Amino acid sequence: MMIQILNGLVYGGLLYILSLGLVLLFGLRRVVNFAHGALFMVGAYVGYTAASITNYWIALVGAMIILAVLGALLDVFVLRPLQKEDPLVTVLVTFGLLILLEHAALIIWGKDFRSLPVPAILDGTVRLQGEEFPLYRLFVIGVAAAVALGMSLWLKLSRVGLYVRASSVDPLTTGILGVKTDRISIGVVALGTSLAGLAGMVAAPLLAISPSMGSYILIESFIVVVIGGLGSFTGAFFAALLVGQIYNFGAVYMPWAASIIPFLIMVVILIWKPTGMAGKHV
């Protein structure tokens, strides 16, 4: 039982880290980045290549830095010029980017699945209530918890965090009060995409690395942000925990239904509250 809950936390943690990027972007600019899953995939591949040259830890930092640079480019060349347009334009353009990134990965790394070994220091198991649990999975939970803690401190205590929170509640008033979205967005978007890189790198030893790995997790992180109420940080946190547990318990006890239940929950929640669990009127 305990092991099951932990496994659910591992997946929920990954979903949370990935969803944060979507929530940050939605809070600041009211758009959804359909290429977010592809960035997760790029993070995993970049980390894979960097780790084969150096080691896991340098690769982890490297993947985050490269993804942050990609995020800054995304903000300057895509999101900023499009902010006056209908949000659906950004959806379509980032969907185009998704196609381009997936095929760029196909050209560079090929079709075959790659796998990244668990770093030596985390390669082992711990005994929990008489059962063996892989140390690396505990590490993933730890990373997710650290990100959650860091994020809530940053949002609560820093000035930029305050702007992001304000903007996610009411972008118009926030703008009237003198917050320049453009000036902070480059950093905020870079933070969001570097988290996608972190998620990709942390997930790499657990999943098969392939060009399409981003699509699956993109859909699941969409479920998380929709259930959580678009743009809500707390909502995304609890929704990720919930979806992680559902996937995991579902896979063990109801394998035929595991992947369908989260969709059903999402539909039920949206009937009940069209703007999500923690949703405001959008």
Partner 1 sequence: MQTSPRRINPGRKGFTLKTSLILLTASLALGVVLPSVLTSMLILSLLTQAVISGILATSVGLLIRQNGVVSFGHAAFYGLGGYVMALLAQRGIISIELAILLGIVLPTVMALLLGLVIVRIPGVAFSMLTLAIGQAVHEVAIKARPLTGGDEGMTFTLPERIFGLPSTMYQNADTMFIVCWTTLTLVLFGLYWLIRSPFGQLVDAIRENEERARFIGYRTVLPRAIILAVSAAVAAIAGVLFTLYNTFLSPEMLHWGLSGSALVMAIIGGPKVVWGPAFGAIVFFLVKDMAGNVSEHWPIIIGATLIFVTLMLPMGIGGALQRLFIGSGKQEA
| Window 238-257: contact mask with partner 1 (x via CB under 8 A) | ------------------xx
Round to whole Å and give the CA distance between 9 and 3. 10
Q: Which is nearer to partner 1, 6 or 25 (CB)?
A: 25
Contact partners, residue 234, CB within 8 Å, separation at least 6: 228, 278
Dihedrals phi, psi of 85, to nearest 5 degrees: -85, 170
Q: Is-contact 117 52, C-beta < 8 A?
A: no
Q: For residues 279 and 273, give the distance between their C-alpha atoms in angstroms, rounded to a whole number.
A: 8
- State the minimum distance, in angstroms, from the CB of residue 99 to partner 1: 3
Spell out the residues 6+ positions from residue 258 whose beta carbon is closer than 8 angstroms to its own. Answer: 246, 247, 250, 251
Q: How far is the CB of 103 from partner 1 (least distance, A)?
A: 5
Q: Is 149 in the site for partner 1 (CB under 8 A)?
A: no
Burial grade of 78 (CB within 10 A; 0-12, 13-18, 19 or more): buried
Stretch that binds partner 1, among 48-56, 119-127, 189-197, 214-222 (CB under 8 A): 214-222
265 interacts with partner 1 by CB under 8 A = no
Is residue 189 involved in binding partner 1 (CB under 8 A)? no
Token pair listed for 97: 């980017």
CB 50 within 8 A of CB 64: no
User: Any contact of residue 110 with partner 1 (CB under 8 A)?
Assistant: no
| Near partner 1 by CB under 8 A: residue from 30, 80, 114, 165 | 30
- Residue 32 CB, shortest distance to partner 1, in Å, is 5
For residue 209, the 8-state DSSP code is: B
Residue position matching structure tokens 């995993």: 44
Binding to partner 1 by residue 77, rule CB under 8 A? no
The reply to whether 148 sits near partner 1 by the rule CB under 8 A is: no
Q: Is 274 in the site for partner 1 (CB under 8 A)?
A: yes
Q: What does the binding site for partner 1 look like in residue numbers (CB under 8 A)?
A: 26, 30-32, 34, 86-89, 91-93, 95-100, 102-104, 106-107, 215, 219, 222-223, 225-226, 230, 256-257, 259-260, 263-264, 266-267, 270-271, 274, 282
